[in-house]
Structure 1
Amino acid sequence: MKTILSLNQRTKKWIALGVVLLLIGCVFLFGYAKRPIDDRAVVATVYIPKGTSFFEIVKILDQAGMVKNKLFFILLARFKGVSISIKVGEYDLATSMSPWEITDKLARGE
């Protein structure tokens, strides 16, 4: 009976650790999402062609200097549900924009 009880306590500790790590990850993701890419407003025109996959879009944005951290950008877009709704077209983006603003702009097609 003691082994079952201690196993449950171990399981609870692992679950608690997982929840804490998840919360820490959410804080970092939210901090990344709301902070501008750069304080300098460097503007780049980015073209998203028809048929471009989400990962190719992230690569295009990264090459234009609009993505500071690819993994966090991908997680943010998936969290917001915009990774499947990015519109094709030409966009004027600035490094003074936050990743949150960039994903909004791409999803709205502005």
Structure 2
Amino acid sequence: MDSVLNPWKEVERRKPDSPWFGHSGQTGKRSPERMNAPILHGETRELRRATRMEILSNGVHIINSTPYAAVHQFGGKAKIYGKKPFTMPKRPFIGRSKALTQKIQNKILQRLKELVK
């Protein structure tokens, strides 16, 4: 997101009419937990755990070395369990965001006001 929120395209595992409804990436079977799990919240949390921050002199560099992070960030061809390839829509989760920067600034300001009291 930048100055406005652009929601990601809905995932197939949360669509009741999809053959992927409730699909578990861990077991390959239907899982009630996966029917409502947020997008990019995999069962192993590998994508989240692999995200790292590198502090630079002029800012911060966010890094994720998982092989599929770029497919989620930029969209592109993907495969699941050797099945027919499909096109993954963009689901950017790393990058600059005016809206997020504003939220962070508001939280910092709120916390400073609490400390000054």
Instruction: State the TM-score, normalizing by the size of structure 2.
Output: 0.25
Higher Cα Rg, which structure: 1
Name whichever structure is richer in helix by fraction.
Answer: 1
